[in-house]
Amino acid sequence: MTVSLSCQGLSRSFGALTAVDGVDLAVEPGSRHALIGPNGAGKSTLMGLVTGALRASAGTVRLGDEDITRMSVVRRARLGISQTMQHASLFTSLTTAENVLLAVQRKQGRVGLLSRRRAELHERVAALLARTGLSGRDSVVVGALSHGERKQLELAVALACEPRLLLLDEPAAGMAPEDSGRLVTLIEELSADVTVLFVEHDLDLVFRIATTVTVLHLGRVLLTGAPQEVRASAAVQEAYLGSGRDEPLFTERAEA
């Protein structure tokens, strides 16, 4: 069942620094919601508050009807939240296939002493690797993968959890163009049952995939709206570029 994400008055401070300040965010079920903003805007902190890695100083986070503000990372994961990290967070001494297997076997149920339904699990692993373009690399240890391959594996692991809410933190960062093309296809092909919230700096990508865009600036929500709206907003331009400049932030590119 498709689920929504909503944050009300969400705040997080680190000592004197308020990284996220009273953020209200509503992510519609099944939407592709982008979170953008200049460096230091609080995007990663906000993501951390949603996944449970960081505890909120104030405010609430709701997944559908459930208040998950006080829930641990583990519980939120069991409720169907899955994520990729900015710097690929993988199991470095294990192989590509084993990384995905860990997610798949958890999804399947209790992880015990006896491997049940091994063939089924391995099929799922193979399918996920194929989707993310890693088929030939299944027995390669993560340490030997390239940066781009690791990002792909990150995504495979996140998808293996069959999430209801998928959080992507700069999924295209450092990727070569052909890989980011595949990433776009992957996200576009995601079932409409999955709600996606992603942080991205690559604005072309954002405007291709996103159904809604939220702009964060200095820990606060500057604007939430359809991509076109955000593109045209003067306030957003100012946040990114400062007020002294005139040239447009987003240029229209002729579609190739």
Partner 1 sequence: MNAAMNPAVTRVAVPAVVWLGLAAAPVFLAPYATTTLTRMLVFGLLAASLALLVGITGLPSLGHAAYFGTGAYAAGWFAKNVSAQAPLSLVVAALAGGAAAAVTGWVAIRASGVFFLVLTLAIGEIVLQLAETWEPVTGGSNGLYGIPAVTIGGAPVSNAGYLYWFVLAVFAVGFAALWLVARSPYGTALRGIRDNEERMRALGYPTALYKYLVFVVAGTVAGLAGGMLATQQRLVTPADLGFTTAALALLAVIIGGAGSLWGACVGAALVIIVRDSLGPTLDGHGPLVLGLVFVLVVYLMPRGVAGVRLRRGGAP
The site for partner 1 (CB under 8 A) is made up of 51, 53, 72-74, 77-78, 82-83, 89-95, 97-98, 101-103, 105-106, 111-115, 139, 141, 143, 157, 161
Q: For residue 229, give both structure tokens.
A: 């709206």
What strand order describes the sheet that includes 17-27? 17-27, 5-14, 58-63, 66-67
Residue (72 or 185) nearer to partner 1, CB: 72
Nearest-5° Cα angle at 83, 81 to 85: 160
Residue 190 in contact with residue 132, Cβ under 8 Å? no
Residue (153 or 210) nearer to partner 1, CB: 153
Residue (53 or 241) nearer to partner 1, CB: 53
H or E stretch covering 105: helix 96-108
For the bound state, the minimum distance from the C-beta of residue 141 to partner 1, rounded and expressed in Å, comes to 5
For the bound state, the minimum distance from the C-beta of residue 112 to partner 1, rounded and expressed in Å, comes to 6
For the bound state, the minimum distance from the C-beta of residue 157 to partner 1, rounded and expressed in Å, comes to 7
Cα 225 to Cα 23, 27, 189, 206, 237: the distances in Å are 15, 11, 23, 13, 15
For the bound state, the minimum distance from the C-beta of residue 111 to partner 1, rounded and expressed in Å, comes to 5
Residue (81 or 222) nearer to partner 1, CB: 81
